[in-house]
Amino acid sequence: MTIPITARAAPGAAQILGDLVAIPDLPGRSNAAMAGCVRARLAAASIDCHVLPGPEGDRVNLFASIGPRDVPGVILSGHMDVVPAEGQPWTSDPFCLTQREGRLVGRGASDMKGFLACMIAMAPTLASMGLARPVHLAFSYDEEIGCQGVGHMIARLPELCAPPSACIVGEPSGLAPVLAHKGKQAFAVEITGRAAHSSEPAKGINALYPAARLLAAMESRAAALAEEGARDARFAPAHSTLVAGTIHGGVALNIIPERAVIEGEVRAIPAEDPREIAASLLARAEALETEYPGISVSHRMLGGYPALPFPDDPGLSRLMERLTGRPAAGSVSYGTEAGLFHAAGIPSIICGPGSIDRAHRADEYILPGELDACCAMIRALGETLTG
């Protein structure tokens, strides 16, 4: 059943979460419905929202300010998109928030529409507090395919507000402040040869063989990163990683394959740049044209984001520990938009309700008490900005 508002859930947050979950805002597609829902909820609280179109033409970021925009404030940031639910063994409609066994079940409940619902639910409270320094509400698109939307919003911040003093990215962390994560760069390599009948292989150029050589080079580089690369014991694993994720090639056993595509990704500790590691693999791919005359190699960078390094100044982490009552959790293995805010010069931290262990899985859920705690954290944040 669709859940009603209950006394256990933060006022309005559960109902808002139900509205958000009902919109299957998948990445790479128009997010007009989701953006419209968020804007309508904020408009009901008399909060104007800047609509920031992305270059795709059918997707937008949203940015709203509560309090004076000409002094530094704090950004609460979350992404509107969710991963697909197809092929997963859901026991209820993933796009209808359902209450059972004390859980609020639906796609995005933890990752990360629960945080968005708390942002929206607490907007009227923040607006009533007479903030001396603002709280900005940032809603991004296409995070789930490599943080592709938020950079366009960050580029517009100078015209929207004074330089923010901090950013809280509400990815699910059990509301424990998370200080750091690795950076990521994904890439794709396409190798094109020439098709022929398998009975006369000399008449073709087999794309799988150079692809195999590239895969071997990736395996070798991954081993070198693990054995000889920079290390940071605060991450698990403590070194940068490189993996080949997919390979596609060939159409039939009796046809010499003329095409092979490899996709890989790098996840790098802050001491290393994932783009540089990926670029070295792409240079190796280009060299295959010399080793295998007649093939052509093309490549492209896919989604990525910079690392969020451990902060030099503990001020933000100490503030979040006070607001949440939870100790900082150090680093996480997943990546977030916080790395992009940090790269733009905005001190950033990860702190949101729910658990990453529930994300991207069937029967994803959040607990009403987790919404309560998040709303309490946002209220407490507002109180620090009133004086």
Q: Summarize pLDDT for 130-165 with one digit per residue, the tens.
A: 999 999 999 999 999 989 999 999 999 999 999 999
Mean pLDDT, residues 168-187 taken together: 97
What pLDDT is recorded for position 6? 36
Q: What is the pLDDT of residue 303?
A: 85
Produce one character per residue of 176-189: b if its CB has 16 or more CB atoms within 10 Å, e if not: bbbbbbbbbbbbbb
Give percent of the chain above pLDDT 70.
97
pLDDT in tens, 338-354: 999 999 999 999 999 99
- Taking only the tens place, the pLDDT of each residue in 236-292 is 999 999 999 999 999 999 999 999 999 999 999 999 999 999 999 999 999 999 999
pLDDT reported for residue 387: 76
Taken in order of first residue, the domains within the chain and their CATH numbers are 13-180+307-384 (3.40.630.10), 184-304 (3.30.70.360)
Question: Quick one: CA torsion of 287, 288, 294, 299, rounded to 10 degrees?
Answer: -80
Distance of alpha carbon 368 from alpha carbon 383, whole angstroms = 23
Residue 2 scores a pLDDT above 90: no
Cβ atoms of residues 119 and 76 within 8 Å: yes
Work out the pLDDT band at 11, boundaries 50, 70, 90: low
* pLDDT at 4 > cutoff 90: no
Give the whole-angstrom CA distance, residue 79 versus residue 28: 13
Neighbours of 96 (CB within 10 A): 15
Which residues lie across from 77 on neighbouring strands? Answer: 138, 169
185-244 pLDDT, tens per residue?
A: 999 999 999 999 999 999 999 999 999 999 999 999 999 999 999 999 999 999 999 999
- Bridge partners, residue 52, by sequence: 61
Beta strands in the chain (DSSP E): 50-53, 60-66, 74-79, 98-100, 103-105, 135-140, 166-169, 180-181, 183-192, 241-249, 259-268, 296-305, 331-332, 348-350, 365-366
Per-residue pLDDT tens over the stretch 40-88: 999 999 999 999 999 999 999 999 999 999 999 999 999 999 999 999 9
- Separation of alpha carbons 168 and 75, rounded Å: 6
Say yes or no to pLDDT of 172 above 50. Answer: yes
C-alpha R_g of the chain: 23
CA–CA gap between residue 20 and residue 197 (Å, rounded): 53
User: How many whole angstroms separate alpha carbon 269 and alpha carbon 247?
Assistant: 26
What's this model's pTM, rounded to 2 decimal places?
A: 0.90
